[in-house]
Chain A
C-alpha cells in the first residue's frame, strides 16, 4: 500500500451527503479551497435514478442498491453494557447512505423544524414540571442554540429544498390550515402543500372532528415546478410511489443533486473525490489541532490529505466513529458518566395502526410520495400537559402514504397467516383498500445508551467497528402507550372495516430487523458545557477548534420529528459562524 501525500487544502469535508453539500456551498462561497471526500460512488439523477430502471422495488427498496455496503463497514449492537454486541449484518432498522448525496438521495423529504421547546428541553421541563419530573438516568439537555437563532437557517433550507407546506405561525400569527404548535416563521413555505391522498383526507377529517389540529405534512417533494435561490430547478412530484429508498427521477425530491450540486460542482475552488474512504482525522502531536485526514482511495492507496479545517459530514454514527478512531475528545464512560464522545445515543420509537377499508373505498396505496399526507402535533414535544401523564416526550401522528410497493408495503389484517391460500386471498382482497396511521415518537438520552468502539469486530480495513448499546426505557414505553391510544381513536374515527395496532409494549426490546427510521441521534452532542457535550453550540469540537462535526450526532436527545431540517439548519448556522467569526481568528468560538 503506497502512501501518497496530497497538497494541502483550506477545508476538507468528510462525507458528501446533505451536510457535506451545504458546507461545500457555504465554505466555497467564503473563498476557501474546499475538498470533499466521499467513500461511495458519484451519482446523479441521470443516469443513476432515471425511469424506468429506478422503479425496481427489489433492487432499490429491498436489496438497497443505494445504501451503504455493510460487508465493508457496519456497527455492532447490544441491548445493555453487560451484553456482547453482534454485528448489524443486514440493513433493517436504519438504512445508511452511501455515495454522492448520501441518505439525502433516498430519504422521504418529511420536512420538520424543531419546536422551540425541543431545542431547550431540559429548561422547558424543569420550568413547567420541576426538576424531579426527569427520571433518574435520563440525560436531558438543551441544544445550546435557540429556535430564534435557527429560524433564518430553517427558512434558508426550506427555500433550498423548495419545500411544500402550509405555515401555521407566521411571525407569531396563527394561520388556519397550518400547524398551530410550530415556532414562528418569517415566511410561508416556498411552495403550497402537496395534494393529499385519499387516506390522508379521511385522516384529516377524523382528527379535526376529534378536536385535534391536522395539517398537510411539509414535504421536500415539490408540489410545483420551482427554482431555488441557487438557480437549481425542481420538477413537480407526480406521486410515483418510489420515493424513500429510491432516487427521484422527476427532480422533485430535494437532494444535494437537485438543489446544491448543480452550482457547487461548477465552482473552481471546489473538488470532489469519490471512492475515498476516510480512516481518521490526523492530529498534531499535542492533540490540539487537526492536520488533515487520511483516506484509502479507489486503488487501495493510503492518502494523506492535509487541511487547515476538517468538517465531519459523514452521518451521525460515522462521525462518532471517526472521532473515536482519531482520539478526538474524551470517550464517554457509562460507569462514571464522564467523557463526551459516544454519550447520549438515541433513536425513535414509532408505532402505527394498519387500516383496511371496504370495497367502496379504494385507497390506491401505490399513489403516494415520500411525504404526502397529513400530520398532527397535538401530542408532540411539550404541546400537551405531561404533568398527570408522567413521561417526557411525545410523538407526531400522521397519515402519510409513501407508496404501495407490494414486497415491502403490502399490509394485511392482523391474524392473517403469513403464507398459503389464506395469505394470498387476503393479499388480493385487501391491498387496494389498505392504509395506515403512524406515529413518530421521541426517545430521550440515557446514561447506558451510548456508542463506543467494538473490542472484537473490524471493518474491511481492520479498524474497530462502532458499537451501539441501546434499548427502550420505561419512559419511552409510557409515551408510546399513550400515543397508541390516540392513534387508535383516530383510526376508528376514519371508519375502516378492520384495524390492526402495532405499538411496542413495556418489556419489548429493540429489534434491529424491521425498518424503523434512519433518525439516529447523539454521540457527539452539542451544548454549552464541555462536560456534557462534545461540540459547542457552533458544532465545533471543544478542544480541537479546527474540527467541526455536522449532522444529528449533535442532538442531545431525539424528538418526534424527522431530523434533516434541523441538521440542515445547524449546518447553515455553523457555516455562518465559520465564515463570519472563525476564519478571521481560527480558534475556539465562544
Chain B
C-alpha cells in the first residue's frame, strides 16, 4: 500500500494477522458448514501476504480517500472481513481503467438535462471523472469543515458522518453530484466485496465465505432438494479453489 493507513485499519490488520490461521491450515482441516468458521477464514489478510497493489488510476491522495472510505462502508470487525481485507480498493482502481469507469457501454451523448432520479444517472461525467471530482470535493469540504483535515485523516466517527452527508444529500458540491459520487462508490464497494476474485476484490473469497455463497461452483443438482441442510462446500473462484 502506498498510503498511510488510518490508525483503526492498521490496528485491525495487526490483530487479524495475529489471530488468523494460515490459509493452508484451513484447507487441511476441511471446511465446516458453520458460519463461525467461515468468518474466521474470511479475515485472512491476503493483501498482507501478496505484494501491495499500486493504483493505476488513483493518485496518492485519492487512494488514501478510497481506502478510508471503503473501510467505513464495509468495516472490519468481529462479524467478518471488511472492504480492505477483501481488496476492494484494488477492485475499484481496476474498474476506473475499465469499461465501467469510462462508461464504455452507456449512452453518453448529450444534451444532458436535469431530470428526476427515476431516470438514472444522467450526468455528462464518466464514472471515473465523478470519482476524481467527488474525492477532491469531499476532501476540500472536510478541510474546510473539519479543522483542515482531509477525509482520510479524520477519525472514523467523523468519516461516517461525512459519508452519511453524501448519501443523504446534506452535503452538496458545485462541481459534481455528491449523491452520484456516493452511489457509484457504494455500488463499486459492494461489487468489489462480492464479485469473483478474478476482478481484484473479494480476495480469497473472504466475503463469499462470510455469507455462505459457494462462488463459481455452479453445480447443484444434488442440492436442489435438501430442505434444512446447509451446503457444505467452501467457495471456489473462476480461478479455482480459494482460501
Contact of B105 among A53, A63, A362 (CB under 8 A): A63
Q: Does A17 contact B (CB under 8 A)?
A: no
Q: Does A428 contact B (CB under 8 A)?
A: yes
Q: How far is the CA of A456 from the CA of B113 in the complex (A)?
A: 12
Contact check, B228 vs A361: say whether CB atoms are below 8 A apart.
Answer: yes
Contact check, A418 vs B74: say whether CB atoms are below 8 A apart.
Answer: no
Contact check, B108 vs A431: say whether CB atoms are below 8 A apart.
Answer: no
Which residues of B have CB within 8 Å of A364? 220, 223, 226, 229-231
Q: Does A339 contact B (CB under 8 A)?
A: no
Q: With A195-B225, A427-B211, A456-B111 in contact, do A58 and B220 touch (Cβ < 8 Å)?
A: no
**Mask: chain B, 83-96; 1 = CB below 8 Å from A; 0 = not:** 00000000000000
Q: How far is the CA of A407 from the CA of B229 in the complex (A)?
A: 24
Contact check, B210 vs A428: say whether CB atoms are below 8 A apart.
Answer: yes
Contact check, B121 vs A90: say whether CB atoms are below 8 A apart.
Answer: yes
Contact check, B190 vs A407: say whether CB atoms are below 8 A apart.
Answer: yes
Which residues of A have CB within 8 Å of B97? none
Q: Does B218 contact A (CB under 8 A)?
A: yes
Contact of B228 among A360, A419, A428, A510 (CB under 8 A): A360
Closest to A197 in B: B224
* Min distance, Cβ A505 to any Cβ of chain B, angstroms: 15
**Mask: chain B, 58-77; 1 = CB below 8 Å from A; 0 = not:** 00000000000000111101
Closest to B91 in A: A58
Contact check, B186 vs A419: say whether CB atoms are below 8 A apart.
Answer: yes
Which residues of B have CB within 8 Å of A427? 210-211
Which residues of A have CB within 8 Å of B220? 238-241, 364, 366-368
Query: Which label, helix, strand, loop or mixed, suits the secondary structure of the A interface?
Result: loop
Which residues of A have CB within 8 Å of B111? 456
Which residues of A have CB within 8 Å of B113? 84, 86
Q: With A56-B238, A89-B108, A511-B118 in contact, do A420 and B73 touch (Cβ < 8 Å)?
A: yes
* Min distance, Cβ A184 to any Cβ of chain B, angstroms: 31
Q: Does A305 contact B (CB under 8 A)?
A: no
Which residues of B have CB within 8 Å of A457? 109
Contact check, B107 vs A74: say whether CB atoms are below 8 A apart.
Answer: yes
Q: Does A192 contact B (CB under 8 A)?
A: no
Q: Does A32 contact B (CB under 8 A)?
A: no
Q: Which of A64-72, A273-281, A574-582 is found at the contact surface with chain B?
A: A64-72
Contact check, B223 vs A239: say whether CB atoms are below 8 A apart.
Answer: yes
* Min distance, Cβ A461 to any Cβ of chain B, angstroms: 12
Contact check, B105 vs A64: say whether CB atoms are below 8 A apart.
Answer: yes
> How many residue pairs bridge A and B at CB < 8 Å?
181
Closest to B195 in A: A58
Which residues of B have CB within 8 Å of A259? none
Q: With A58-B191, A419-B186 in contact, do A86 and B119 touch (Cβ < 8 Å)?
A: yes
Q: With A86-B122, A240-B220, A428-B210 in contact, do A421 and B107 touch (Cβ < 8 Å)?
A: no
Q: Does A87 contact B (CB under 8 A)?
A: yes
Contact check, A201 vs B227: say whether CB atoms are below 8 A apart.
Answer: yes
Q: Does A432 contact B (CB under 8 A)?
A: yes
Contact check, B219 vs A90: say whether CB atoms are below 8 A apart.
Answer: no
Contact check, A89 vs B120: say whether CB atoms are below 8 A apart.
Answer: yes
Closest to B207 in A: A406
Q: A-side interface residues toward B, CB under 8 Å? A: 51-53, 55-58, 62-64, 67, 69-71, 74, 77, 84, 86-90, 92, 195-198, 201, 236-242, 249, 360-362, 364, 366-368, 372, 404-407, 410, 418-421, 423-425, 427-428, 431-432, 456-458, 509-513
Q: A89-B122, A510-B118 are in contact. List 20 more A-B contacts (CB 8 A).
A: A52-B238, A55-B216, A56-B198, A74-B107, A89-B106, A89-B120, A92-B120, A198-B225, A237-B221, A239-B220, A249-B218, A361-B228, A367-B223, A407-B195, A424-B75, A424-B80, A427-B210, A432-B212, A511-B118, A512-B120
| 8 cross-chain pairs, A with B, having the tightest CB-CB distances, nearest first | A240-B218, A58-B195, A431-B211, A406-B194, A55-B216, A367-B220, A238-B221, A239-B220
A and B contact pairs by CB, cutoff 8 A, 22 listed: A52-B216, A53-B238, A67-B105, A71-B106, A87-B122, A88-B119, A89-B122, A90-B106, A238-B220, A240-B220, A241-B218, A249-B218, A361-B228, A366-B214, A407-B191, A419-B72, A420-B73, A428-B210, A432-B35, A432-B230, A513-B117, A513-B118
